[in-house]
């Protein structure tokens, strides 16, 4: 065999081997394509690039756990959008994986957050936190009652909360009860602003009205927390707790008032003696509350037939009026009247 023939034979063998290697390489490339794509998606997932990772997993169909990983990535991406308050985009992502984990509830939550109801609850959180922060600054700057900037700063605190919430006064809510509560709460804030004007004009009225509004506000905030899931930053949890505590105190106060009103409505003053035009009237009352009163008596409006108050009489005072105890209350009068209206006067240590 000539040298030329040998050279041609070697060349052919080399070409055949090269072709085999190329074909084999191409085959291996295509055979491992899914694996390489999967590994790429895994790296994106580890880097928390959820959207890009989900796109890679979606191309792999049923390869390994790609379908599960796809849902996981969409869920994580939607959760990021939710946490950034991009509720519309979050809902769109969650909707791609209906039935996965708690996605159905997440979709409902996104829809709620986009509603007027949800927008108000977030605005309330913002308003409260802004007001509490401004109130803290008043304390830090020594702006208390008596300070020349007290009323100005107090109004700014109230206005900061009101300005965030007032736009909701004309909004239509899905939850009509919430709508009523929102309007009532906004009324409290508006009245608070008016009350501050009495600080220098009539401090007694200012103090009474401000405390009354604070009590109503405390109960409203507790209701927003218990019924509608009001949330505040951890920094302000203690502030919220103070309102909840005060609301409980107000509940107890209101309950006591209701029980005392029942006592007042149950008493009936009857004449027991008439001497020279001076008549003694007596009523029996039982302490149906769970409180012991240091002192307890009645102021009794004596009312004429035309409804005018003839006179306001005062009964004797009972000290240490304990629960379930019964006592007689009397007053003496020389005037004629048609009916009575009793109001309890008392003190509890």
Burial of residue 168, with CB atoms counted within 10 A of its CB: 0-12 exposed, 13-18 middle, 19 or more buried: buried
| Sequence-ordered strand ranges (E) for the chain | 270-275, 278-286, 293-303, 309-314, 318-321, 326-333, 339-347
- Pairwise CA distance, residues 110 & 86, whole Å: 9
Count how many residues are written for the chain.
349
Cβ atoms of 120 and 104 within 8 Å: the answer is no
Cβ atoms of 135 and 157 within 8 Å: the answer is yes
Tokens representing 19? 């072709």
pLDDT digits (tens, 9 = 90+) for 136-174: 999 999 999 999 999 999 999 999 999 999 999 999 999
pLDDT tens for each residue of the chain, 349 residues long = 555 666 667 766 666 665 565 554 454 444 457 788 899 889 999 999 999 999 999 988 788 899 999 999 999 999 999 999 999 999 999 999 999 999 999 999 999 999 999 999 999 999 999 999 999 999 999 999 999 999 999 999 999 999 999 999 999 999 999 999 999 999 999 999 999 999 999 999 999 999 999 999 999 999 999 999 999 999 999 999 999 999 999 999 999 999 999 999 999 999 999 998 899 999 999 999 999 999 999 999 999 999 999 999 999 999 999 999 999 999 999 999 999 999 999 999 8
* Residue 3 located in a structural domain: no
Whether residues 175 and 211 fall in one domain: yes
* Residue 258 located in a structural domain: no
* Residue 262 located in a structural domain: no
Q: What is the pLDDT of residue 33?
A: 73
Q: What is the pTM of this model?
A: 0.78
Among 88, 108, 128, the domain-final residue is 108
Whether residues 235 and 272 fall in one domain: no
- Pairwise CA distance, residues 237 & 154, whole Å: 22
Q: Domain limits at 22?
A: 16-108
């Amino acid at each position: 065999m000539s040298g030329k023939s040998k050279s041609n034979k070697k060349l052919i063998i080399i070409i055949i081997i090269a072709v085999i290697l190329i074909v084999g390489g191409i085959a291996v490339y295509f055979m491992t394509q899914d694996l390489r794509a999967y590994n790429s998606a895994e790296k994106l997932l580890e880097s928390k690039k959820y959207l890009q990772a989900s796109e890679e997993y979606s191309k792999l169909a049923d390869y390994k756990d790609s379908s599960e990983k796809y849902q996981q990535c969409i869920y994580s991406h939607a959760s990021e959008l939710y946490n950034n308050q991009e509720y519309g985009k979050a809902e769109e992502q969650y909707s791609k994986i209906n039935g996965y984990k708690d996605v159905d509830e997440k979709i409902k939550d996104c829809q709620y957050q986009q509603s007027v109801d949800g927008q108000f609850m977030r605005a309330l959180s913002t308003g409260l936190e802004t007001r509490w922060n401004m109130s803290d600054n008043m304390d830090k700057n020594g702006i208390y009652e008596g300070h020349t900037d007290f009323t100005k700063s107090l109004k700014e605190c109230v206005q900061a909360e009101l300005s965030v919430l007032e736009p909701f006064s004309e909004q239509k809510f899905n939850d009509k009860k919430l709508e009523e509560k929102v309007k009532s709460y906004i009324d409290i804030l508006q009245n608070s602003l008016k009350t501050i004007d009495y600080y220098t004009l009539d401090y007694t009225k200012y103090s009474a009205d401000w405390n009354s509004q604070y009590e109503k506000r405390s109960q409203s905030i507790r209701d927003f927390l218990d019924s509608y899931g009001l949330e505040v930053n951890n920094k302000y949890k203690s502030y919220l707790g103070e309102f909840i505590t005060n609301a409980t105190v107000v509940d107890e106060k209101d309950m006591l008032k209701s029980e005392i009103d029942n006592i007042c409505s149950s008493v009936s003053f009857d004449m027991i003696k008439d001497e020279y035009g001076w008549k003694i009237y007596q009523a029996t009352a039982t302490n149906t509350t769970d409180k012991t009163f240091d002192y307890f008596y009645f102021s009794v409006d004596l009312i004429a037939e035309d409804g005018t108050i003839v006179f306001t009489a005062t009964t004797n005072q009972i000290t240490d009026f304990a629960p379930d105890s019964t006592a007689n209350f009397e007053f003496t009068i020389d005037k004629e009247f048609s009916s009575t209206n009793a109001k309890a006067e008392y003190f509890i240590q």
